[in-house]
Structure 1
């Protein structure tokens, strides 16, 4: 990964050593792995929400996790999409990194669900099944990157679009509601720069971040069983959630504020040094696309809805182990054909592009620095 976050703005006493040129920054790999672990846990907990398993604690925990785990991913996707262009390499990466894996997994999940249920589950590539909605969403967000770079107030515009998405029940095609509702997080990521992450990595911000997460957890517990958790899933209209437009806008703004605060808190407490799980960060897409086969399996098992509180804890620990397993070299080797397919046979030979002229750019990066992270797709 090209290093995109430095600690130039941090005092020397608390600044982490900058990665070597061309090396991966462990901070972002740590953040990706921890975020995808939360995704796995959230999907494992979701079937239990309506089964009276875990009670208020589990309800609060799931709402807390869902309030920020996808915003974290989407903000980072936006940050590493800053250099997106319509060049031949970018187009090939979109096809090989998003479109082809989406086609494979959007067909595999309905087939798996059909086997589990004993009933035929139809496949429609325009109707994402289960967790595959994120792939076309990421494709659409990245394709829109040049537009957001031209808009004078991109965050405001994206926020307005997100608010308007709640006024009407949108078609289910490509999960339009979530694509538009989560858009502000992607646009925020596009506007972030290395010094913003350097600021979050200050020692004082770690304390602030931890406090935000504790307060968020307390708020989730206080509101559990009284506020519909669908507000943090961003997939229902105001009408579907049983409120009018004024209340809907208010609730959505509160959900947005909570997501921003918890995302800041999460990114602030992520360790910046290399850890035992740093090497797993580059495989976040493998974990995301593959873990659903396990969580979907659990959702079709009758015994799963009768587990006790202690067993919920074991399931949670198992989710962490599953994320580690799916990040392993063996898993990457076995499933690279589906997650990171090599498609050289599909494209014409590359035409060498003119070398970028060296020198600083207005945003402070060197010309030729795309700001992209090769493996950051989720």
Structure 2
């Protein structure tokens, strides 16, 4: 892995941001459409892996007794701007009134930014703790949360608890340990397990709607036919997310690629693609796509790739960073220089 910049994670983030966009464009498709199962498979692992990466790079948030409040303020501003922008689109479409905006309860894409703030704020508390007790505690909290119906979208509490183990796993994981985990001999074990899980989800996903929604839809255990199975279902999903995420990392390039630039600037894509999706949704595009089956999938696949490319343009990155008060001319110059190579 590159000592100056870890292009491995840049490449991985590029793949994940594409899956985030594709997943959100598939989200409005419901019912018996086969694409619903594909969507559920993506949602099993793409955000857990993204959260893991966020935890891995959170080691610098509190260093030498100093807390990086600039990062917290950046996320807070991004969260507020994101929520306001989405509410404006909903208000213009007549779906909701702008006055119904709620900064304390989010079930959509902004939850990740709010959760990041909370996880970052806990780092001074856990930084001196041993990894195993923290990870065990967060897993217990994730499994217990499903028994409480009021643990849901308010303060993004459900996702904070359920995705928490992935964040702290990334935070405590050292680079040497990660490199050992990505050795070829482990690939021969992990990848077949992940493939089997993916095949199972694709084959039986239509029957497991509530179970597969145990994480990303904030479904409590009481939504299941048998409540007592809740912790086992959630734990199974967490293990599935862990194994699929681990398997994906074996195939990510270690060096600099065209994906690297995309992976370095995922925030504009993360914020703006959701707004574009909502505009297309309110324009009625899904009234047609819902009946097109796999043709719709390839249309949304190409659309997602195009959106990732366009929103990663240096001009878009420039404007988003201006809004979030983190615009730096050097960043834009570096982007242009990298694209010119």
Pick the TM interval, shorter chain.
Answer: 0.7 to 0.9
1:127-176 deviation line (CA, Å, top 9, x unaligned): 23621111110000111112223444111011111111111112532221
Of 112, 127, 143, 2:121 maps to 143
Aligned counterpart, 1:306: 288
Displacement of 1:60 in angstroms is: 2.4
Displacement of 1:214 in angstroms is: 2.6
Of 258, 263, 268, 2:245 maps to 263
What is the correspondence of 1:271-290 to structure 2 with a 5 Å cutoff?
A: 271-290=253-272
The number of equivalent residue pairs is 318
Q: Say which SS state the counterpart of residue 127 (structure 2) adopts.
A: helix
When you count helix as a share of all residues, which structure comes out higher?
2
Q: Does 1:324 align with 2:309?
A: yes
**Paired residues of 2:61 and 2:67 also in contact (CA < 8 A):** no
**Paired residues of 1:68 and 1:263 also in contact (CA < 8 A):** yes
Displacement of 1:217 in angstroms is: 2.1
- The whole-number CA distance in structure 1 between the counterparts of 2:318 and 2:27 is 30
- The whole-number CA distance in structure 1 between the counterparts of 2:193 and 2:278 is 32
- The whole-number CA distance in structure 2 between the counterparts of 1:240 and 1:184 is 23
- The whole-number CA distance in structure 2 between the counterparts of 1:335 and 1:173 is 27
- The whole-number CA distance in structure 2 between the counterparts of 1:162 and 1:119 is 32
- The whole-number CA distance in structure 2 between the counterparts of 1:331 and 1:194 is 32
Structure 1 pair 238–313 and aligned structure 2 pair: CA distance change class (3 A):
same
Structure 1 pair 30–171 and aligned structure 2 pair: CA distance change class (3 A):
closer
Displacement of 1:272 in angstroms is: 0.9
- The whole-number CA distance in structure 2 between the counterparts of 1:197 and 1:19 is 14
Displacement of 1:205 in angstroms is: 4.5
Displacement of 1:289 in angstroms is: 1.1
Displacement of 1:209 in angstroms is: 5.1
**Paired residues of 1:205 and 1:268 also in contact (CA < 8 A):** no
Structure 1 pair 287–207 and aligned structure 2 pair: CA distance change class (3 A):
farther
| Unmatched segments (≥5 aa) in structure 1 | 1-17, 344-378
Of 115, 118, 138, 1:158 maps to 138
Structure 1 pair 90–305 and aligned structure 2 pair: CA distance change class (3 A):
same
Aligned counterpart, 1:249: 231
Higher CA-based Rg: 1
Of 218, 225, 228, 1:235 maps to 218
Displacement of 1:339 in angstroms is: 4.1
1:282-337 deviation line (CA, Å, top 9, x unaligned): 11111111110111223323342322121321111210121121112121012212
